[in-house]
Amino acid sequence: MKQGTRKPKKQGTRRCAQGGAGRLPAIRSRCRRGCAWSLAAVVACVALNRAPAQKEGGDAARAQALRRANAAFEAGYAAMQAGNMEAARVQFAEVVRLAPEIPEGHEALGSVLTELGRAAEAVPELEQAAKLKPNDGGIETDLAISLFQAGSAKEAIPHFEAAVKLSKEPEGATFYDSYGRALAAAGRPEDALTEFGEEEKLTGPQSAVDDAMGSVWAQTQHWDEAKAAFQRALEENPGNISARVHLGVLLRQEQDLAGSLAVLQPKEPLEGQYTATAWMEYGRTLAAAGKDEEAAGVFQKALERDAAVPGGAGELAMALQRLGRPEEAIPWFEKAVGADSHNAAMLTNLGLALTLTGKARDALGYFAQAQALEPENATIVKDRGVAHIQLSAFDEAIADFEQALRMDPHDAQLHYDLGLAYKFKDRMNDAAAELSKAGEMDPTLADPPYTLGILYMQMGRLDDAVVQMKRAVALRPDNGSAWAILGSTLKQDERLEEAKEALEKAIPLEPGQPGPRVNLAGVLAEMAAKLRAQAETAESAGDTAKAEELQAQAKELREQAAEYREQAASLSQAAVNRQRASFLLNAGNQLLLKGQIADAIARYQESIAADATFAEPHRQLALAYDRQGRTQDAAAEREKASALKTQAN
């Protein structure tokens, strides 16, 4: 059907099917043509044609029923005109009860049910109307629209087509709009665009129609046309949230994240109109832009708007996990899995979150469910291997990583994981081979040279260890542990100046660790001892000035060493405090999981008392306060946690 080919049809009237002379003005749902409804003519026709066949008593009763039906019909029409659709529904239902053989009653009831958003209930009434009065354009129109609104687009299309053939007057904008959307839903995009074009011929440009046309263009992957249509829709109505979402998603697919954020970011007064879906898409763009902290807050807003919004729980869980907050992510992963137990990705990520929080044994069941759904997914097998590592089930872990490598032999991370498992089994040569392969396959990975450096140091291959550690710190200059190990290795290799330089870089990167200070104190002491020996040699040679200079340098190094030892001792005490605080924190977490909120709060408070610099107990205490409804206390604890985290960074 080509756009613009339809001709206007002449206005018609309905006549009594039995040949009576009465005339009934054309009826259309929702008073689209403003006609006055009445059953009087139909009632007269029915009464005249049935009267000879009925007994006198039955004829009188039937006439009374028809008069009551006519009154109910007129009352229903008056209620509808007054905007009281529920009252109209009640009256039209009475018409159908009293005169079930009259199609206009079923049509009126179906039309009002559709108007009330009860299209599924309307369909049987309109089907009965069509059965009683076949080939009626008005009834076919109402039935088509009701079927579409009830979610049966494919079934609606034949009735739209019949309405076009049968209607005695031009279709209205509502007809074209519903027909176009039904065609789009049924996979007939070109025909859908034709109907939307017919609609805009009647109405002029409309934001909702351009949004619908954009969706059809997107359906056929005509991205430029889709973008232009969505942009027109927003120009016509900036408050069209649907068009805003569609354009934002399209821009995100094109990797224009800045453009997507500009479109999706809610601004007053639109924020209050944002649907859960709109919040979700804004959150997804934030996540794609690496802004997980903001994305998590937006996903929570979406879930506050609609707790069952598709993908909400899973997206929030993923954002929390990427933020390094797996404990918070777990209940959201569980909710996502509860909503869709066949989502292998959610099952796998739930298993990973459990593993990251020390619950690897619980994770294995979820990995098994995920693998049953996707047997050839290497990621699932790899993550199961990580869980086995945590459980010290190294043989099982090795089997997992080897199986995953058969599925994906080009995954450098898998070679690294297998090498780590070999290391735990003291298969040093196998471990070195896999770790080396991982580094060769992806030279940007910092973990392989770091772990390989430790391995070589343990094997006594100090020169090789130094080479690998230097690669590790080149890839991650902020890795204080790597600098510390490099310094320790250089110290063992008696390369004291290089060791001193490495350890001095480690200390500010690991301010809470006593180890680098202890090692640096040892390096400085050894350097002082060598200077003292050189001073003695100079003294023996009669070079007193040189000897005094060397002695002064040695003394300075000894003083520095003493200072670092003192700092290390202080940090060791702090480490003991942190260990106690961590123990109490974990105890509180277990109590919180069991629902023992008051006891959990006591443990968190003890944890804070043990180490006032530890942010995590404040954050967990906030969660416990939330569970008690103490929102102000919870907010205060979150502020403390944030401040401590900022100080630590």
Confidence band for 34, pLDDT divided at 50, 70 and 90? very low
The predicted pLDDT at position 63 comes to: 87
pLDDT tens string 589-617: 988 888 888 889 999 999 999 898 899 99
The predicted pLDDT at position 595 comes to: 81
Q: Average pLDDT of 517-522?
A: 94
**Domain annotation covers residue 398:** no
Q: Give the list of residues 6+ apart from residue 331 with CB closer than 8 angstroms, or none.
A: none
**Selection from 235, 229, 201 nearest residue 213 by Cα:** 229
Q: Rounded to whole angstroms, how far apart are CA atoms 407 and 589?
A: 38
**Selection from 166, 162, 152 nearest residue 124 by Cα:** 152
Least confident of 310-314, 373-377, 454-458, 511-515: 511-515
**Selection from 165, 194, 203 nearest residue 3 by Cα:** 194
Q: Average pLDDT of 351-364?
A: 94
Sort 496 into a burial class: Cβ within 10 Å, 0-12 / 13-18 / 19+.
Answer: middle
The predicted pLDDT at position 33 comes to: 33
**Domain annotation covers residue 429:** no
Is residue 382 helix, strand or coil? Answer: helix
Q: Average pLDDT of 142-147?
A: 93
The predicted pLDDT at position 13 comes to: 33
Confidence band for 172, pLDDT divided at 50, 70 and 90? confident
**Domain annotation covers residue 605:** no
Confidence band for 57, pLDDT divided at 50, 70 and 90? low
The predicted pLDDT at position 23 comes to: 25
Q: Average pLDDT of 617-632?
A: 88
Q: Rounded to whole angstroms, how far apart are CA atoms 377 and 344?
A: 9
pLDDT tens string 461-480: 999 999 999 999 999 999 99
**Domain annotation covers residue 98:** yes
239 pLDDT above the threshold of 90: yes
Angle between helices 360-373 and 344-356 (to 10 degrees): 160
Angle between helices 597-610 and 616-628 (to 10 degrees): 160
Cβ neighbour number for residue 10 with a 10 Å cutoff: 6
Which residue in this structure is represented by tokens 């108007």?
115
Is residue 169 helix, strand or coil? Answer: coil
Segment (H or E) for 619: helix 616-628
Please state the domain count of the chain.
1
Q: Average pLDDT of 363-388?
A: 96
Q: Are 452 and 430 spatial neighbours (Cβ–Cβ below 8 Å)? A: no
pLDDT tens string 61-103: 888 988 999 999 999 999 999 999 999 999 999 999 999 999 9
Least confident of 277-286, 500-509, 567-576: 567-576
**Domain annotation covers residue 190:** yes
Amino acid letter for position 13: T
Is residue 486 helix, strand or coil? Answer: helix
Q: Rounded to whole angstroms, how far apart are CA atoms 427 and 449?
A: 17
Q: Are 436 and 428 spatial neighbours (Cβ–Cβ below 8 Å)? A: no
Confidence band for 618, pLDDT divided at 50, 70 and 90? very high
Q: How far is CA 30 from the centre of its chain?
A: 40
**Domain annotation covers residue 49:** yes
Helices vs strands, H then E, count in the chain: 32, 2
Dihedral sign for Cα atoms in the order 141, 147, 153, 155: negative
Domain that holds residue 16: 1-204
The CATH number given to whatever domain includes residue 109 is 1.25.40.10
The predicted pLDDT at position 68 comes to: 93
pLDDT tens string 536-588: 999 999 999 999 999 999 999 999 999 999 998 988 887 788 888 999 999 99
Render 387-440 in DSSP notation, one character per residue.
HHHHTT-HHHHHHHHHHHHHH-TT-HHHHHHHHHHHHHTT-HHHHHHHHHHHHH
Q: Rounded to whole angstroms, how far apart are CA atoms 66 and 73?
A: 10
Q: Average pLDDT of 312-331?
A: 95
Q: Rounded to whole angstroms, how far apart are CA atoms 533 and 11?
A: 118
Q: Are 117 and 134 spatial neighbours (Cβ–Cβ below 8 Å)? A: no
For the chain, the residue count is 649
**Domain annotation covers residue 584:** no
Q: Rounded to whole angstroms, how far apart are CA atoms 497 and 38?
A: 104
Q: Write out 219-279 in H/E/C secondary structure.
A: HCCCHHHHHHHHHHHHHHCCCCHHHHHHHHHHHHHCCCHHHHHHHHCCCCCHHHHCCHHHH
**Domain annotation covers residue 424:** no
Which structure tokens are listed for 186?
Answer: 């049924």
Q: Average pLDDT of 351-374?
A: 95
